[in-house]
Structure 1
């Protein structure tokens, strides 16, 4: 899950969460917590990164060291029956299905929603925001760009990248 960090309205860092957190550790303390914001590039949601270096916990034995998390899945009997006939068992089949879905990418609506979440935080009080969001959901990129022209460039460009990743 790549993330993008902004310091005030300028793009500061983009990459894996740990890489971005490492870069943020080198910053001087911000005057306000809202001066440094980090966003998930897939969902557009604001995320918190562990900027304070945490002591490494001793590693235990077993699968958790691989990042495996056991959770309950509720399926109908016909689903369990189908899963039991798949090579590798239920867990391997579910992992394959999820990875295949992730490779197909996000839907157009997912992209627009991610841009909306990001822009609500970063541009919600800027001139033309509401009309720009209407243009965003209408799929009118040219109108969106015109309405967002006066916004900070990094905010406008990141909103465009989230909304129209194949074009940006």
Structure 2
């Protein structure tokens, strides 16, 4: 559970979506609902990670916003502590920060033969191979995070919905049509957001 997020959020009261957008605006909508009905249960989710976002709704709307602002300021200060750039500014002349660095690479003769035949030579070929591997790794990481986000939301909001287990199996199997079929009976707002999150994870796989 998080107390602050840089992303948009989405709030639910029970099975009904009540607001989405920036945290401060969503918090105000949730506060209005809770002031009218203090028995309501409101859950706020980060729209990217589906982590639940904790908001202290005590006091007035102004006090709620003040606490959110103070928490955000503290998070920024923690990420950028004073003096963090002292070492960088004190840096003397030398290689650029993103410059080429020479390191020893040990390969079999056939690997060197192949690299030397590539356009630009061994160094250029190695850099291209590294960049390609890095890109593929980042794509896999994005898919994994999207899967985790979708399942995190579904576990919190759809665990009691009909076909939940079968739908999640279809989701992790990459079967988008089957997932949508099985999630059709779910409460509309839960179903629609779950499908949005699932599409983020399933679209890259279906595009390959």
Same fold? TM cut 0.5: yes
Q: Larger Cα Rg: Structure 1 or Structure 2?
A: 2
Contact 2:147–2:198 (Cα < 8 Å) also in 1: yes
Does 1 or 2 have the higher relative contact order (CA < 8 Å, sep 6+)? Answer: 1
Distance 2:177 2:167 in 1: 10
Pick one of 18, 22, 30 that aligns with 1:24: 30
Which residue does 1:67 correspond to in 2?
76
What's the offset of the Cα at 1:85? Answer: 4.3
Q: Deviations over 1:50-105 (max 9, x none)?
A: 33324858xxxxxx68933229x9xxxxxxxxxx9428xxxxxxxxxxxxxxxx89
Distance 1:131 1:45 in 2: 23
Which residue does 1:37 correspond to in 2?
43
Distance 2:65 2:172 in 1: 44
TM-score by length of 1: 0.67
Q: Larger helix proportion, structure 1 or 2?
A: 2
User: Does 2:97 correspond to 1:86?
Assistant: yes
TM-score by length of 2: 0.55
What value does the CA root-mean-square deviation take over the aligned residues?
A: 3.2
Contact 2:163–2:183 (Cα < 8 Å) also in 1: yes
User: Does 2:145 correspond to 1:110?
Assistant: yes
The gaps in structure 2 that reach 5 residues or longer are 1-6, 68-72, 85-94, 99-137, 204-208
User: Residue 48 of structure 2 aligns to a residue in which SS?
Assistant: coil
Aligned residues: 133
Pick one of 178, 189, 208 that aligns with 1:143: 178
Question: Post-superposition, which runs of at least 4 consecutive aligned residues in structure 1 deviate over 3 A?
Answer: 54-57
